Amino acid sequence: MSTSSLPLPLPLPPNNLSSHRQLPSSQFSLLDPLLPSLDEPQKALKTPTIRTRLSQLCRDGQPHIARQVFDALPKPTTVVWNTIIIGFICNNLPFDALLFYSRMRSNSSTKCDSYTYSSVLKACADTRNLRVGKAVHCHVIRSHIHASRIVYNSLLNMYSTCLASTVVSQYIEVDPVRRVFNTMKKKDVVAWNTLISWFVKTERFGEAVRYFRLMMIMGIKPTPVSFVNVFPAVSGVCDYRLANVLYGMLVKFGGEYVDDLYAVSSAIVMFSDIGCLDVARKLFDGCLNKNVEVWNSMIGGYLQNNCYIEALDVFVEALSSEHVSLDNVSYISALNTVSQMQQMNIGQQLHALVLKNPTTLSVTVLNAVIVMYSRCNYIHEAFKVFEGMAERDAVSWNTMITALVQNGMDDEGLMLVYEMQNQGFVVDAVTVIAILSAASNLRSEFIGKQTHAYLIRKGIEFQGMDSYLIDMYAKSGLIEKAQLLFEISDELSRDQATWNSMVSSNTQNGLIEEAFAVFRQMLKRNVLPNAVTMASILPACSQIGSIALGKQIHAFATRHTLDQNVFVGTALVDMYSKLGAIASAENMFALIPTKSPVTYTNMILGYGQHGMGARALALFDEMQSAGVKPDAVTFIAVLSACSYAGLVDEGLSILESMEIKYGLEPSIEHYSCVVDMLGRDGRLSEAFELAEQLGEVGSAIQAWGSLLAACKTHRQYDLAKIVADKLLNMESRNSRSGYHVLLSNLYSDEGYWDLADRVRKEMQERGERKEVGCSWIETFGRVNYFVSKDRKHQEGEYVYEMLAKLASNMEDAGYTPLCYGDTQMD
């Protein structure tokens, strides 16, 4: 036999091999169609041979003893070599099998046969070692043996397993699995099944269905595994009619097929994926001897269709069943269900159940427990679970870091990243996403740039990377860098998230024209907007004050059935409220099928801004009756509505209920609303006492500013002087000068011209200027803007003429019109 000049790489076992769930038909067993049995080739034996004894040792779980016996043999035959290789694979020692094959190759007196190559290719698949697999493929070609179907099937299995995680686009033109399949002269059902499974793994669902049909046309009778492989492809193409046809074919093949539990499980998943839960439930109820896969499929089907109560019902039913033992997947599905429901009491019961069952106390399950506590806003409980874990993997660290960032604990999340690296774990794409999100929340240009540099230095790329970077730069105040990153990206490769991120970034930075330009460019490139796009562009309509444009976007969302999405509906409520169309906001609110806390908050805020305090309180009660838990922002909206409407007693009662009833600690923002509420009602002494308790730092300046405005309104100038001194001594972190202007006007009203001049000079020294107020009105599709002392409008003369007439009419009616500044109404 001619030996290959290509050296066989000797693989080193990694520290941790990730487990991949496979179909039981393709899992290794002594009856694996891709692996010869320890007894092959079968011969009638009168007395036990050395090969038989070695096989028995391997079956007994003692492959290394079999190896020692083998080493004592003077001239072992190829069959004996194969027995040891297969024995190692039988005992989940594929690396030992590869090393033993390398030793066999170096023995010039031994020739490899089809069983050798088939077994070694199975070991390559188990270790996901494509490099060694390709080397073995070369050995097969150069050996000039007549490769049997078992070798070809093993090649198909090796390539499809080792390449399963590779980008699909790499195999559009050159597909090694298809090439091996095409070289086979006689293809059995195992080869067809492997190819169909490969197409599903690489998300070429149409090809999978096409080859299944071709297999039937070629007269190859499918096995239950064939249906297990093709059902996910039907889910991918979402064809209900095809699903019915294929399941009907399964039933037609008889009991062996329709009673196969893995085929039933795959059928349940298929019908669940295409939204036919009623059919999936019928299959589930019709299965008499359910295994854990069937139970998990039904639980998962309900979960992915947002039927959380039904998913938990099936889980509880499985717990009470004596014929099934739930596995990690069962508990993870149940924990994910609770995470979506945000039912902490159920989550705690599940956690207790996990702790009582040692067989389910794995790292993956505990990771799901961390996610559950995080989604239920119990981040400290999540961290307790993380700290108590005896063993953590990279997913554990990433899960905890992400949970901290999502719960507003960005600094703690970044500190945990540092500790994760100290523990020897490598920062991966998931970690980077969490870091970029933290940098966006903190508005930290320094952290964001460091992370971007790390991505470039390590060559890390992942789906949606550009969108996270654009968002980070935009929120860090570097909108130009965000726009540059968007422009230099490949236009053809931009995904929907990247377009959405650029639209949102422009809107958040007040670049309304640029936001609509990107939106139009997105449509021009035939990238269909989704719910995130709509929720990002709608705030731009309210910023430019164009209700006509907002209605056009609303119509677009309706045509594309996006208006029923909770995020789009919430954005529409917010837009109509801010544009003064409170009736339209109410109608939109009523049409949203599932309302989130943000939806209620926006509607309550809209009522408050329009002085409808009673309606705001009524909606707050309705929110609680609907079982929607209000958050901290909701209470700010309710307290603001009470302030606008003068409902002081109701507002104080709501503030008291925050901590007692909902366990939410009031923040400075909540107390600032109460100060404003008391001040508007003339209860200035109480407002002053509360402001004193808040101190003179951070957000407390808002409370002092509200109190100063109340003092001016109620002409309490003595108290106003004290509040003014407080404000002057407080260092504002922003450049907005609204409070300084209010102080200056207050001093001017009292005749303290020196103090008023002093405030104005301080503003000039700091480079501050008054933020100009603006009002607008839309007429005939055009938005007309007006600012103080503005005479640039083309209809300015007529506007002032009408203003003078209104002032005259007010005087005739007995009112005294107020004229500010140098505005003359002649």
Q: Is the dihedral of CA 296, 297, 300, 306 positive or negative?
A: negative
In DSSP terms, 787 is beta-bridged to 774
Q: 518 and 551 in contact (C-beta within 8 Å)?
A: no
Q: What are the residues whose beta carbons fall under 8 Å from the beta carbon of 709, sequence distance 6 or more?
A: 679, 742
Residue 734: the pLDDT is 45
pLDDT at 323: 84
DSSP per residue, 762-819: HHHHTT-B----EEEEEETTEEEEEETT---STTHHHHHHHHHHHHHHHHHTT-----
Mean pLDDT, range 171-191, rounded to an integer: 84
The yes-or-no verdict on residue 507 having pLDDT over 70 is: yes
Percent of the chain with pLDDT over 70: 86
Confidence category of residue 698, pLDDT binned at 50, 70, 90: low
Phi-psi region of 708 (alpha: psi -120 to 50; beta: other; left: phi over 0): alpha
Look at residue 403 and tell me whether its pLDDT is greater than 80: yes
How much is the pLDDT for 100? 92
pLDDT at 739 over 80: no
* Beta carbons of 330 and 315 less than 8 angstroms apart: yes
Picking from 723, 770, 769, the residue whose alpha carbon sits closest to that of residue 747 is: 723
Given this model, what pLDDT does residue 607 score?
93
In this prediction, residue 460 has a pLDDT band, given cuts at 50, 70 and 90, of confident
Angle value at C-alpha 813, between 810 and 819, nearest 5 degrees: 25
Q: Is 825 exposed, middle or buried (0-12, 13-18, 19+ CB in 10 A)?
A: middle
Instruction: Report H helices in 357-494.
Output: 363-375, 379-388, 394-406, 410-422, 429-442, 445-458, 465-475, 479-488
What is the reported pLDDT for 628? 87
Structure tokens at 633: 């922002």
Handedness of CA 284, 288, 290, 295 (dihedral sign): positive
pLDDT in tens, 38-88: 555 555 545 568 888 889 899 999 999 999 999 888 888 999 999 999 999
> Does pLDDT of 815 surpass 90?
no
pLDDT-based confidence at 190, cuts 50/70/90? very high
Most confident of 66-70, 759-763, 801-805: 66-70
What CA–CA distance (Å, rounded) separates 327 from 322? 14
The string of DSSP letters for 275-295 reads: T-HHHHHHHHHH-SS--HHHH
Which band of pLDDT confidence, cut at 50, 70 and 90, is reported for residue 773? low
User: Which DSSP symbol is given to 784?
Assistant: E
- Whether pTM exceeds 0.75: no
Nearest-CA neighbor of 546 among 515, 514, 580, 569? 580
> Among 60-74, 138-152, 240-254, whose mean pLDDT is lowest?
138-152
The size of the chain, in residues, is 826
Q: Is the pLDDT of residue 18 over 50?
A: no
Q: Is the pLDDT of residue 37 over 60?
A: no
Q: What's residue 776's pLDDT?
A: 67
Q: Any residues with CB less than 8 A from the CB of 427 and at least 6 apart, and which?
A: 417, 420, 421, 435, 454
More confident residue, 667 or 8: 667
**Angle at the Cα of 663 from the Cα atoms of 658 and 668, rounded to 5 degrees:** 55
> Residue 309 has which token pair?
């109560």
Residue carrying structure tokens 């990206």: 489
- Could you read off the pLDDT of 469-489 as tens digits, one per residue? 999 999 998 999 999 999 988
**The pLDDT of residue 263 is above 80:** yes
Distance of alpha carbon 476 from alpha carbon 442, whole angstroms: 8
Answer yes or no: are the C-beta atoms of 328 and 340 closer than 8 Å.
Answer: no
Residue type, 149: R
Give the residue-averaged pLDDT of 623-643: 89
Q: Is the peptide bond before 41 cis (omega within 30 degrees of 0)?
A: yes
For residue 394, give the amino acid letter.
Answer: A
Sequence-separated (6 or more) residues with CB below 8 Å from residue 353:
319, 331
**Three-class SS string for 663-674?**
CCCCCHHHHHHH
What is the predicted pLDDT for the residue at 36?
A: 55
Give dist(CA 370, CA 381) in Å, integer: 8
**Residues in a beta bridge with 778:** 783
> In angstroms, rounded to a whole number, what is the distance separating the alpha carbons of residues 809 and 807?
5
Instruction: Share the mean pLDDT of the chain.
Output: 84
Dmax (CA) of the chain: 127
Integer Cα distance of 250 and 263 in angstroms:
9
Position 31 scores a pLDDT of: 41
The full DSSP string for 317-365 is HHHH-SS----HHHHHHHHHHHHHHT-HHHHHHHHHHHHH-GGG--HHH
Distance CA 654, CA 677 (A): 13
In sign, the C-alpha dihedral spanning 787, 793, 795, 796 is positive
> Which of residues 817 and 704 earns the better pLDDT score?
704
| Average pLDDT value for residue range 192-208 | 92
Tell me the C-alpha distance between 398 and 433, whole Å.
10
Of the chain, the percentage scoring pLDDT greater than 90 comes to 49
* Count of alpha carbons within 13 angstroms of residue 618, beta-carbon side: 5
The answer to whether residues 6 and 132 touch, using CB atoms and an 8 Å cutoff, is: no
At 530-549, the pLDDT tens digits run 999 999 999 999 888 888 88
Read off the pLDDT of residues 775-784 as tens digits, 9 standing for 90 and up: 767 666 666 7
Taking the C-alpha atoms of residue 67 and residue 413, their distance in angstroms, rounded to an integer, is: 50
Task: State the amino acid at position 436 in one-letter form.
Answer: L
**Which has the closest alpha carbon to 641: 630, 626, 627, 629?**
630
Please, are residues 396 and 366 in contact by the beta-carbon 8 Å criterion? yes
Q: Does residue 195 surpass a pLDDT of 80?
A: yes
Average of per-residue pLDDT across 334-350:
91
Going by pLDDT thresholds of 50, 70 and 90, the confidence category of residue 402 is very high
The more confident residue out of 731 and 753 is: 753
* AA letter at 360: T
More confidently predicted of 397 and 748: 397
More confident residue, 784 or 111: 111
Residues paired with residue 736 on neighbouring β-strands, in sequence order = 769
Cα–Cα distance, 721 to 708 (Å, whole number): 9
